[in-house]
Amino acid sequence: MALAKIEITPLDRSGGRVEAKKFRVLFNPNSYSITKNVTWTALAAGGSSAKATDRAVNAPTLSFGGGGSRSLTLELFYDVTEAINGVAIDDVRKETNKVVELTRIDKDLQRPPAVEIGWGAAPPANSDFPFTGVVSNLVQRFTLFGSDGKPLRATLTVTLIEFLDPELDRRQTDPEFTTRRIRRGDTLSSIAAETYRDPALWRVIAEANQLDDPLHLVVGQTLAIPKRG
């Protein structure tokens, strides 16, 4: 079985995957880290934010202040001293610049693109991957050079901040909705048959996701599926 490598796919304005710009890293990282901040504020007895500990209780009442964006940090290793898939590469930047491109402003988006990072087969629900985010920090360290001065080996430390479509996020956390990731071969009718046991209800899904062209589904895109009684 071939080793599953991390895939990085830029997203268009509507959140669809731009498959033509998808690329794989040369080597998978040995580890990765996910950071998630959740805000809680201590309340005084009267309900306002506490500036000092309430001496009448062992711990103050906490008020939920919202969830922060997750951040993903990857350390990616690149080495082109040997041919990659039978192809000789004389400059490691031909590979690392694919990541650098994710920090540059896209003329159509007027910002750097959001990306979807996937790794391996479909994971359990609420897993770290696929991770949708934007590059917030990139450090490149080149450590080996050819006789012509071209770098041959590099380590990239990439940090991404979670990038969520507000409307889609609302749907995902709304008890009246569930979600379904589009797989190859899916149609709205087949998804409606799977979720509602009635393929004729495909219009419900199309309307909930504001699909302009229900016949054109993007593999990997997440659909909001309204729950029905």
What does the longest C-alpha to C-alpha distance in the chain come to? 72
Distance CA 10, CA 133 (A): 10
Q: Which fold has domain 167-226?
A: Membrane-bound Lytic Murein Transglycosylase D; Chain A (3.10.350)
Residue 4: CB atoms within 10 A of its CB come to 12
Distance linking the first and last C-alpha atoms of the chain: 43
Distance CA 220, CA 182 (A): 5
Distance CA 209, CA 162 (A): 21
Q: Where are the domains of the chain?
A: 7-35+69-164, 167-226
What whole-number percentage of the chain has pLDDT above 90? 44
- pTM listed for this prediction: 0.67
pLDDT (tens digit, 9 = 90+) per residue, 127-182?
788 899 999 999 999 999 999 999 999 999 999 999 876 555 555 556 566 778 88
